[in-house]
Amino acid sequence: MEANEETRKELLKEVKPTATRHIFLIRHGQYQLDSKEKYLTALGREQAILLGKSLAENGTKFDKCIYSTMNRATETAQLMMEQLPPLKSKSDSILEEGAPYPPEPRHGDWRPRLKEFYTEGSRIEAAFRKYIHRASPKQKEDSYELIVCHANVIRYFICRALQFPPEGWLRMSIGNTGITWLVIRPNGNVSLRYLGEIGHLHPDKLTFT
């Protein structure tokens, strides 16, 4: 019996996570609202560069960068990474902007059709499950990961990660290139270090579009 118990403990040890994941969710820079392609404005590009410089100066060694395939997020990620030491990166369409969940209270000017919540909400929920989780047992060192995407996606991720009612996602405001830092520990506990941090931008460069 003792041998079996020891074997059981060893097997459990092999599948138990030991590393902490630090996930930095970053909103894209200001973009051209009147353009179909929605590329960054001149200010949006400047915001992305200032973001990258700030991340480089804080001394954190980032392991990888994942970014949305939408132009404004792709541009932001590329300009940001030009200021950082080389790191692995890739784009993922699952992180694109969308309507994640019917908000409460309703927003007066923004009212997607219910069909959009069903289709886009399912995709954004799938993105949450793909990227916001504990480290794999195979991961031995703590990781620092950048995810460049969109305000709706980030706000929904925060509600889900902190086990808040998802219909409250629209009550949060995140500025362009705002940084949201989530920590996921091996036991599954999640903490929010900061939400939409924009200290890298001078007040006259702050935008929320």
- pLDDT tens for 74-122 read 999 999 999 999 999 999 999 999 999 999 888 777 777 777 888 899 9
At 121, give phi and psi (nearest 5°): -60, -40
Helix residue spans in 23-111 (DSSP H): 42-57, 71-81
Q: How many CA atoms are closer than 13 Å to the CA of 153, on its beta-carbon side?
A: 30
- Confidence label for 1 from pLDDT (cuts 50, 70 and 90): very low
What is residue 108's predicted lDDT score, i.e. its pLDDT?
72
Return the CATH class of domain 17-205.
alpha beta
| Model pTM score | 0.92
Checking if the pLDDT of 132 tops 90, the result is yes
Mean pLDDT of 44-55: 98
SS3 call for 131: helix
Beta strands in 110-198 (DSSP E): 143-149, 179-184, 190-197
The domain limits of the chain are: 17-205
What CA–CA distance (Å, rounded) separates 135 from 106? 36
